[in-house]
Structure 1
Amino acid sequence: MSRQAELDHLVIGALTLDEGVAWCEATLGVTPGPGGKHGLMSTHNRLLSIATPEFPRAYLEIIAIDPEALDPGRVRWFDLDEGRVQQQLSQGPQLLHWVMRVRDIKSAHGQWRALGLDAGELLQASRLTPHGELRWQIAVRSDGRRLLQGALPLLIEWGEVHPADTMPISGVQLRSLGVGSLDAEFARRALAHLGLQGLGGHSGAASFAVQLDTPKGLVSLQSLS
């Protein structure tokens, strides 16, 4: 089966973007690059390449609710409006979710729906950058919830411009990503259904976990459940 999907990016949730930047510097040993504002969700971010030969466009996103933005009029992505999540983020930034890039999001969305998965509605989003406008489609549930508590990623399809194309080498690389929820076997089947195979498992209670090679050595992160 040809690969229809690949890892796009990891999501680190933070109570504030400044806290996220400080966490990145202290934990990974690097300062994240610039990001932007998401008018659709009233969030903002900073970005950092974690590219590998297998996933040459993979990056890490640090995201927080934008205090200067208006209420988006809908539930934000990544469970950011959940009181429980905000309470946990008040203890410090944490690995929150991951996003999978697909070539045809309508097809991928339909395949997951056929498996009984509600990946949400397909939304059009964009933001301006110094290198051009980023445009993408992303599947977000109306309740903002992560699929299988994060064991399954959000689906995204980018337009002509991808944010990683202009990111410098950061010194941080993804070493591994493993699914480990109660529904881990079903999650891996759903991912393999789109051609994303070879993900491992992990022994913790979190829905997924990652390992990153960084200037500070190997860093292991488990997702916020």
Structure 2
Amino acid sequence: MIRFDHIALAADTLEAGADLVRARLGVKIGPGGAHPLMGTHNLLGATGPDSFLEVIAADPGAPPARPRWFGLDRPETLTHGPRPFLVAATDDLDAALAAAARAGFDLGRPEALRRGELHWRFAVTANGAPAEDGAAPLLIEWPAGPHPAGRMADAGLRCAGVTLRTPRPERLRALMAALGAANLFAIAEGAAGVVATFTGPGGAGGTLEPMMEALP
């Protein structure tokens, strides 16, 4: 029911996120755009024909009418610096959310979003915070047709693996089973968060994961 779509690296500013991508993965991420409804803006880089890496931050010039997604309005989200989240795609967002709800999980409600000619649907919780303290995937539904990654600059990174880390692994396994993706991602016990490993040309690549202490 769901599949890997992209890793979103939430940061205080786009510059902070881009700096971490350069430091950890050895590449410069490309341009992006703004999301007026959510009061955010981003940088984007393709990691294949149907996946990408995103840096996302609050847009200081665009206060939103609702809590920002990725928990960007919540101080605890970025206490220790930029933090990666997993975004998974589905062809039927309503059905995926209903399946999660039947299993006892609130992954949010669908929001219709647009950036220029690009449009999509995304599940956002009432307070904007990702479910399961950020260990659960956030869900997106793209319209039929070519994936938007095909329009993005490609620095050669490829996602080699994603681990969902949580202090309650059995609970997260139940959610993934409800979403029809019991074996899609590794699940490990630990502090809640997402660990994403990338490979790239010329030695580029590395790991994005939640930091346990603030950047110096």
> What's the TM-score, normalizing by structure 1?
0.84
Separation (CA, whole Å) in 2 of partners of 1:26 and 1:178: 21
Per the alignment, do residues 15 and 206 of structure 1 end up closer, same or farther by CA in structure 2, a change over 3 Å counting? same
Matched, 1:163 2:148: yes
Separation (CA, whole Å) in 1 of partners of 2:38 and 2:30: 21
The one-letter code of the counterpart of 1:74 is: R
Matched, 1:61 2:54: yes
Separation (CA, whole Å) in 2 of partners of 1:181 and 1:85: 15
> Unpaired segments of 5 or more residues in structure 1?
none
Q: SS at 1:27's partner residue?
A: helix
The answer (yes or no) to whether the contact 2:58–2:72 under 8 Å persists in 1 is: yes
Separation (CA, whole Å) in 2 of partners of 1:29 and 1:224: 18
Alignment counterpart, residue 127 of structure 2, candidates 143, 163, 168: 143
Separation (CA, whole Å) in 1 of partners of 2:8 and 2:130: 12
Separation (CA, whole Å) in 1 of partners of 2:204 and 2:54: 20
Separation (CA, whole Å) in 1 of partners of 2:65 and 2:32: 23
Q: What is the number of equivalent residue pairs in this alignment?
A: 209
Per the alignment, do residues 32 and 218 of structure 1 end up closer, same or farther by CA in structure 2, a change over 3 Å counting? closer
User: Can you list the C-alpha shifts for 1:151-194, whole angstroms capped at 9, x where unaligned?
Assistant: 21111111245321223432211111112212222223322333
Per the alignment, do residues 206 and 119 of structure 1 end up closer, same or farther by CA in structure 2, a change over 3 Å counting? closer
Deviation of residue 84 (structure 1)? 2.1
> Counterparts of 1:17-166 in structure 2 under 5 Å?
17-51=14-48, 56-69=49-62, 71-89=63-81, 93-95=82-84, 97-128=85-116, 133-160=117-144, 162-166=147-151
Aligned to 2:3: 6
The answer (yes or no) to whether the contact 1:17–1:64 under 8 Å persists in 2 is: yes
Separation (CA, whole Å) in 2 of partners of 1:140 and 1:47: 20
Separation (CA, whole Å) in 1 of partners of 2:23 and 2:153: 20
Aligned to 1:223: 210
Separation (CA, whole Å) in 1 of partners of 2:50 and 2:186: 20
Percent sequence identity over aligned pairs? 34
Of the structure 1 ranges 77-86 and 194-203, higher mean CA displacement relative to structure 2 is found in 194-203
Separation (CA, whole Å) in 2 of partners of 1:164 and 1:192: 27
The answer (yes or no) to whether the contact 1:17–1:62 under 8 Å persists in 2 is: yes
RMSD: 2.0
